[in-house]
Amino acid sequence: MTPRPFPPGDLDDLQADLAAEITYRRHLVPVRPPRSYVRSQKRPGGRFPTKKPADRPAKRPRTKVILWTLPQRT
């Protein structure tokens, strides 16, 4: 049980305080600086070219399979 009645009588003051905190300039997220280049100037593909599977050497398998023959029953 809350000791104060709900909603509190000073709710209007709280709403005004909240509006002031939200809109206060120092509490807002700073404006992002403009880009140093136009997005259309950005070259596709990133910094390094991607390697196709044909360009890479084949990897050897990680697992090693050992087979042996079982002795024959006579």
> Where is pLDDT greater, at 10 or 62?
62
Q: What is the pLDDT of residue 12?
A: 74
pLDDT tens by residue, 4-58 = 776 667 777 777 788 878 878 787 888 888 877 666 666 666 677 777 877 778 8
Structure tokens at 41: 């100037």
> Where is pLDDT greater, at 60 or 4?
60
Peptide bond into 7 cis (omega under 30): yes
> How far apart are the C-alpha atoms of 42 and 34, rounded to whole Å?
15
Phi-psi region of 15 (alpha: psi -120 to 50; beta: other; left: phi over 0): alpha
pTM metric for this prediction: 0.27
CB 11 within 8 A of CB 17: no
Angle at 34 between CA 30 and CA 36, to 5 degrees: 140
